[in-house]
Amino acid sequence: MSTIQIFLHEEQPIDPHAVRELYTSVEWWPERTEEQIAQVLASDVAVGAWDGERLVGFARVVSDHIFHAYIEDVMIHPTYQRRGIGQLLVSRLLEALPNVKTITLFCQEKLLPFYEIQGFRAFPSQVVMHRIPTD
């Protein structure tokens, strides 16, 4: 296996086109555009995993940087999954948020063990709710 390098967006800029390709590879969010992804990258903490020049993993945070942070879009290209890259990305995000009291995420039940290794715990008494426009 080649050496995977992990960098925050501020250390090594993450190309919105490469992120769009990752979304496609994991079959997520086909409606998100490169322009929207560029805006998101400019607004908060993001981290990438590179194999040479190729972006093979990505994750980001939405945060007030004091009280709360929310980890979003942890994704690894399918040919690179199950190599520990996701753990490296989440660890790097957590390092970038040392003073945030509560860090939250939501995931599929099958991913609970993956996030528990990083210190996350499920709260079955809570319910995730979304408000999505009904156009």
For the question of residue 115 being annotated catalytic, the response is yes
Q: In whole angstroms, how far apart are CA 110 and each of 68, 89, 113, 121?
A: 25, 19, 7, 14
Token digits of residue 107: 């995931």
User: In 3D, which of 55, 99, 39, 24 has the Cα closest to residue 47?
Assistant: 55
Q: What angle do CA 72, 60, 21 make, to 5 degrees?
A: 90
Amino acid, single-letter form, for residue 91: S
Token digits of residue 113: 């063990």
* Annotated active-site residue in 23, 70, 80, 115: 115
Residues assigned a catalytic role: 115
